[in-house]
Chain A
Amino acid sequence: MNAMRIIQAVLVGGFLFGLYVVAMLWPGALDGPMSFMVADGPVAAAQKNVFWYTVWVSLFLMVTVGSVFIYAIYRFRAKPGADFAVPEQSHGSAKVEIALIVASCLLLVVIAIPNARALFYVDSVPQERREEAIKVVAIGHQWWWEFQYPDLGVTTANELYIPVGKPIEVEIRSADVLHSFWVPRLAGKMDAVPGQINRMWFQADKAGTYQGHCTEYCGDSHANMRFLVEARDDAEFEQWLRNEKKDAAAPASVQEVNGQRIFMQGCNACHMVKGTGAMGMVGPDLSHFAGRKTLGAGIFENNDENLAKWIKYPQQMKPGNLMNLQQVNMVLSDRDVDALVAYLNSLK
């Protein structure tokens, strides 16, 4: 065997795998808002560590096996023009086989141990931190999330406010079909299964907005079932909480009063606005709607133009969603829509 050739083959193989790695780590490729290659909390970090552990073990095997493979093709290829002589016949070697089996079993144990440790760590809030944990109930609906804070007496939708540095214990349920709760930078996913209560926890190490997405196929607008996690320092979180506990603001201008009147002619069948007659439980709670950044479960920026379009053409904005004006006998003029927009924007 020619040592130079082995070195050449390893170099070629290494170069090709190097290209893959470069492609994976290409600047910007892996730091998007949903990339789980960026961990902003301890749970995501533990999961990311196990991932990279498996990557390194796999890369080691891949480079080893790949080099032998490429070398074998190069070294033993039939030379053009040469006759296809029958090479020396061999049927196998028990020693080689046993050695390789033992080696691969060892590599599995090497992966299994950190995997098991991480699994138990990410399963539930560590014992010594149970006291400070904030409980959240996340309920998946077609196609939005309802967030309840059972200990704080607050309910909101699609934008989950949490305090930085505190463990968040999430209880995941479904109101209809399967969904899955996933905020990649904070933690792996957990399914929402009808009739079952699933649990997970996570923690955000720094303040900011984290993108979430439903990851269990749930029908027409599965792609449009996004949400945000807003991590705030304690003071800001408390402030948000105080506001959230209040009843909805009363309409101030004539247009807002008109908007509320129209709201009570149909929208109230499905939406709740605390402190008014709107007690609907089908759609998201709108008591503090104006504080939300997005519309339609994280898919549109919350501004006047989008809101007016949403009210007029909900089916075009989000196929299949349950908001159906005909069903509640609402026929809206442009002026009505403007009034509704004004009213909703007053619900700080």
Chain B
Amino acid sequence: MATHTDVVTKPGPLPELAEPGMLGPRPIAKSGIWSWLTTIDHKRIGIMYGIAALFFIVVGGIEALLIRIQLSVPNNDFLVGDLYNQMFTMHGTTMIFLGVMPLTAAFFNYVVPLQIGARDVAFPRLNTFSLWVFVAGALILNLSWFLGGAPNGAWVGYPPITSPQYNVGYNSDFWIMGLLVLGVASVAASLNFFTTIINMRAPGMTLMRMPVFVWMTLITNILILLAFPPITVALVQLLMDRSFGANFFNYANGGMPIMWQHWFWVFGHPEVYILILPPMGIVSEILPTFSRKPLFGYPLIVFSGAFIGFMGFAVWSHHMFTSGMGVVAVLAFSITTSIIAVPTGVKIFNWLGTMWGGNLRMETPMLYAVSFIAMFTIGGFSGIMHSAAAADYQQHDTYFVVAHFHYVLVGGAISGLLAGLSYWYPKITGRILNEKIGLAAFWTFFVGFNATFFPMHIIGLSGMPRRIYTYDAAMGFNFWNAFVSVSAFVLALSFLMFFYNMYYSYKHGAVAGNDPWDARTLEWSIPSPPPVYNFALTPEVTHLDDFWHKKQTGQPISSAKSELVHMPGSSYYPLVISVGFFVMSMALIYIRNHTLLSTVIAVGGFLTMLFAIYGWSLEGPGGEMLDPNKESGAYN
């Protein structure tokens, strides 16, 4: 280990300040709307991802409430047939792609560079590009509500129900194009974080000294890189079927509908871990801080995270146990699925081990983290029940499954993300969330969540299928459906309380200071909110939980001298590319029936993109040299 502590990087030669962009002036605003639209600062991008994600969680939540109103009584006529189908399709798609994924991306952006002691991500302009392409994809998906009907093929989009023969509107075209665009954003972002984590760590921060959140970010982004190609291929094939009369999934002409399911779940199952691994990382940061103990079994937590990610590619067919794969294939995937319980169990044991013997401060971030463990564990147990394929033949596509994945994704992922929001809110805004409102919001969440989703197990065992807009009064589903619908509003209330707390504390919260939680990782060694350049002095890392170690032993964080920091310039081009991308994708949706017009507009969008790509590549890093000692709020 000693060899690593000796590493002291000398700053290389300062980058040359580039010429002004060759295709026009660069943005120079430091505040106002344009400074946000053109920013390349990972912290601002993180905040924008976060705001967009919370907005779409509200949208997806409203969709969920409308679904619950329809299901509150049997034979209801509030949302009937196709409209209900659009609602649940968009609820799932929104929550996964526009809610949870960008919220994890918000944390990747804001927290990862700070935790590894970097000034920014490896490719700051690519980061802006990812944000705006994500916004373009989100717009495409949601504009469908106003342009003839939202996607209605369920979030899994199984053909033939999404094939042109059975889905004649543009509903599924919006879905395909939206997901393709979102995929571009995700893959660009994942390349960026992968490179950042591999290359930009502070001197001395070996892989096994990285905070667990950084580890989980690394694994998640590897999963994104590997999982998005299959879904992209599948989406392009379906797009060909719909727009150009191809027959990839059209059985009548020799296509194979079942192939979509394999493509989709080779993406879809890793996607589940893309949603859950970042919250696992967040919880692994919060537990040690609030237990005042190191993470129990750090290497095991890291390796089991990697193992979960790896096995994520070996279990996809457990979503298809009833598709007629044959008993041997079913058994094989049943066994690989159950194996995932082992690394997951290891994580849970180690989180327990972290708390054991600690001095637990049960404040809101810790409460959400603890609720994550409890709810995720319950979801894990119903997962084991599904992995036994013989039993899953009955549970498949019933509310028992709906209960399972909401325990994992709401009780698990959302709990973990709310934990992260409560935990890093002081770092982001400089103020601590109000504890009283926070506690009220937490308990409302905890009660509302369990009252909403636990009874779905019972509804499922009573035999209620998923994705049905109505049910008969004599089936025994009535009481619990009404109960669930009421509880869903309690759950919604808890989110309102959380958002109100964010607003209230932004105005009136206690000032946080650098390190309100007596935390362990580098981001807490700098002011809240951090200065634009992050670290005035590049920290030198000698231990896992380096900041905590230095605090305990009374050492300074860094021995290097403060240098001028190069701050690259903002750029219009990523935004322009995403506008061009948006125009092109929107036009292509209509190519089936308006070939000439949509081709012309698409070419226009493409040329806009091309122009901006050249502008981007020619403008250089730009920016200015900044002296941290002269900046107010600089860390000393």
Contacts and interface: CB of A to CB of B under 8 A. Distances in A.
Are A and B bound to each other?
yes
Interface of A: 20, 23-24, 26, 28-37, 44, 46-48, 50-51, 53-55, 57-58, 61-62, 65-66, 68-69, 72-73, 76-78, 84-93, 96-97, 100-101, 104-105, 108, 111-112, 114-116, 118-120, 122-123, 142, 172, 176-178, 180, 182, 184, 187-191, 193-199, 211, 213-224, 226, 299, 319-320
B342 A28 contact: no
Contacts of A24: 457-458, 461
Interface stretch (B14-22, B174-182, B327-335): B327-335
Given A92-B353, A97-B297, 19 more contacts: A23-B458, A37-B462, A47-B391, A57-B384, A66-B374, A73-B355, A87-B293, A90-B296, A91-B296, A92-B350, A100-B349, A111-B388, A118-B390, A180-B397, A188-B396, A191-B323, A193-B324, A214-B465, A217-B397
Given A35-B461, A76-B357, A76-B359, A189 B393 contact: yes
Describe B's contact surface by its main secondary structure.
helix
B373 interface: yes
Contacts of A184: 394, 463
B378 interface: yes
B342 A101 contact: yes
Contacts of A53: 388
6 contacts: A20-B454, A34-B462, A34-B463, A50-B390, A221-B81, A222-B467
A268 B470 CA distance: 31
Name the residue among A142, A176, A197 with the largest chain B CB count within 10 angstroms: A176
A63 to B, nearest CB: 11
B477 interface: yes
Contacts of B373: 69
Given A51-B385, A88-B357, A220-B85, A33 B476 contact: yes
Nearest to A92: B297
B393 A194 contact: no
A37 B400 CA distance: 12
A32 B399 CA distance: 15
Contacts of A123: 327
Describe A's contact surface by its main secondary structure.
mixed
A321 to B, nearest CB: 10
B81 A320 contact: yes
B359 A87 contact: yes
Contacts of B35: none
A85 B291 CA distance: 10
Name the residue among A46, A182, A213, A217 with the largest chain B CB count within 10 angstroms: A217
Interface in B583-602: none
| A-B pairs with lowest CB-CB distance, top 3 | A188-B393, A32-B476, A34-B463
A116 to B, nearest CB: 6
Interface string B140-179: 0000000000000010001011000010000000000000
B361 interface: yes
B370 interface: yes
Contact of B166 (A37, A97, A195, A219): A219
Contact of A87 (B324, B345, B350, B358): B358
B82 interface: yes
Given A30-B462, A47-B391, A51-B385, A223 B355 contact: no
Contacts of A66: 374, 377
Contacts of B454: 20, 23
A30 B458 contact: yes
B462 A50 contact: no
B624 to A, nearest CB: 43
Contacts of B352: 65, 68-69, 72
B455 interface: yes
Contact of A188 (B80, B322, B458): B322
Interface residues of B, number: 95
Contacts of B471: 223
Contacts of B346: 97, 100-101, 104
A122 B322 CA distance: 12
Nearest to A52: B391
B257 A54 contact: no
Nearest to A181: B322
A197 B251 CA distance: 13
Contact of B322 (A91, A97, A104, A180): A180
Given A23-B454, A92-B353, A220-B85, A196 B361 contact: no
Contacts of B31: none
Contacts of A116: 331, 334
B119 interface: no
A213 B397 CA distance: 11
A176 B322 contact: no
Interface string B80-118: 111001000000000000000000000000000000000
Interface string B60-91: 00000000000000000000111001000000
A277 B136 CA distance: 57
Contacts of B358: 76, 87
B330 A119 contact: yes
B468 interface: yes
B458 A177 contact: no
Contacts of B396: 188-189, 215
B87 to A, nearest CB: 13
A55 B411 CA distance: 20
A115 B338 CA distance: 11
B475 interface: yes
Contacts of B293: 87, 89-90
Given A34-B463, A72-B352, A97-B346, A48 B359 contact: no
Nearest to B249: A194
A189 B257 CA distance: 19
Interface string B390-418: 11111111100000000000000000000
